[in-house]
Amino acid sequence: MKKLIAVVAGEPNSINSEIIGKAWEKFRNKEYIFIIGNYLLLKKQINKIGLRIKIKKINSIVEIKDKKNLHILDIPFKFNSLFRNKPAYTRNYVLSSLNAAHDLAYTHQINGFINAAIDKKIFNNKYLGVTEYLSNKNKKPKDEVMMIYNKKFSVVPLTTHLEIKDITSRIKPDLIRKKIITLNGAYYKLFNRKPKIIILGLNPHNSENRKGSIEDRIIKPTVEKLRKLNINIQGPFPADTVFDKQKKIGYDVIVGMYHDQVLAPFKALYGFDAINITLGLNYLRISPDHGTALDIVGLNRANPLSLITAIKFLKKFND
């Protein structure tokens, strides 16, 4: 059986076609990589930036016969010009591509997939992002965990794309417990070992450990209960010092209370050398750890490192 690597093309008004083309050049004749997206659109966008790649349209993954062509599992898409598309068409196209990848993975035709960046507006505020959308399609709503992975260590935000004003009300013992249990089990499944986890507080300096603070009432007692479940977790630690070298050595995952609390310092440390992995699904879902980068679309300046890292990770999982 061929070990297929699926990449969802994602947002058409983006750098996605560029990084897909550049990443493909690294794996040409080495891997069975196919793209889930619109054949004509991707062909035009890749040619526009000067990449000379053999692209082959397919209607089923059984048509993938070689490693020398970039196969495109064709998804219908109406587009007016190269980078200007009607929002309704774009929304339907992106969701159709994601759904096709989900169906292939959910029915075990592929082990998982990578999705290139999307514009979260396609979810019309129903979902916060792809992580939550796929969790719902897997019939596991609110069990999903977003892990940003680098081979040195990873970070997990308990809440993802929430406004700051809404975070405090979401930090409950049940949320922490569910996310940490999912993280612990999925990490073991991926890497064959239990993770060493550090969890952060919410407030500056952990509210100086004041009695009645969210750290004292919610986070600390929940951590103590998780430790009784034989989960290797410590904390809460103050967020302002935990990312220095002395604190992170020996730990696999730093868990924060909200998105930028852990992603901002992590990206400052590793830039494009990271990938986004959704834990808790019935399959492996990965995405590059960056957005659509509208400011450099079509300029041939996009860095494909994160997508290359994602492909290597999925290949290792396939093996």
Mean pLDDT of 175-189: 95
Task: Find the helix packing angle between 173-191 and 220-227, rounded to 10°.
Answer: 40
DSSP-assigned letter for residue 292: -
Phi/psi-derived region of residue 293, left when phi > 0, alpha when psi is between -120 and 50, beta in every other case:
left
Question: Per-residue confidence at 318, pLDDT binned at 50, 70, 90?
Answer: confident
Which residue, 306, 257, 260, is CA-closest to 286?
Answer: 306
Average pLDDT rounded to a whole number, residues 148-155: 92
Q: Which residue has the higher pLDDT, 171 or 140?
A: 171
Count other C-beta atoms under 10 Å from residue 293's C-beta: 17
| pLDDT at residue 82, rounded to an integer | 46
Q: Is the peptide bond before 236 cis (omega within 30 degrees of 0)?
A: yes
CB 279 within 8 A of CB 223: no
Task: Indicate the DSSP class of residue 118.
Answer: -
For residue 59, pLDDT over 90 is answered with: yes
Asked if residues 145 and 157 have their Cβ atoms less than 8 Å apart, the reply is: no
pLDDT at position 87: 61
- Looking up tokens 């048509």 gives 63
Average pLDDT value for residue range 109-126? 89
Q: Which residues belong to CATH 3.40.718.10 in the chain? A: 1-139+281-319, 145-279
CATH of domain 1-139+281-319: 3.40.718.10
Q: pLDDT tens digits for 5-15?
A: 999 999 998 98
Alpha-carbon distances, residue 185 vs 165, 230, 272 (angstroms): 31, 12, 27
Res. 84: pLDDT tops 60: no
Mean pLDDT of 75-94: 71
What pLDDT does 312 receive? 93
pLDDT per residue as tens digits for the range 277-316 = 999 999 999 998 888 888 888 788 889 999 999 999 999 8
Could you write out the DSSP letters of every residue in 5-74? Answer: EEEE---SSSSHHHHHHHHHHHHTTTSEEEEEE-HHHHHHHHHHTT----EEEESSGGG---SSSEEEEE
- Which pLDDT band holds residue 81 (cuts at 50, 70, 90)? low
The confidence score (pLDDT) of residue 62 equals 94
Per-residue pLDDT, 207: 80
Predicted pLDDT of residue 179: 94
The CATH number of 145-279, from 3.40.390.10, 3.10.20.30, 3.40.718.10, 3.40.50.300, is 3.40.718.10
Q: Residue 175 pLDDT more than 80?
A: yes
Work out the number of other CB atoms within 10 angstroms of the CB of residue 200: 25
User: How do residues 221-259 score in pLDDT, each as one tens digit?
Assistant: 999 999 999 999 999 999 988 888 656 678 999 999 999
pLDDT reported for residue 88: 60
Residue 83: its pLDDT value, please? 47
Q: Can you give the pLDDT at residue 124? A: 84
Residue % of the chain over a pLDDT of 70: 95
* pLDDT value at 219 more than 50: yes
Grouping H, G, I as helix, E, B as strand and the rest as coil, residue 297 is coil
CB neighbourhood size of 119 (10 A): 18
Confidence check: pLDDT of 85 > 70: no
Percent helix, percent strand, percent coil in the chain, to nearest 5 = 45, 20, 40
Average pLDDT of 141-146? 83
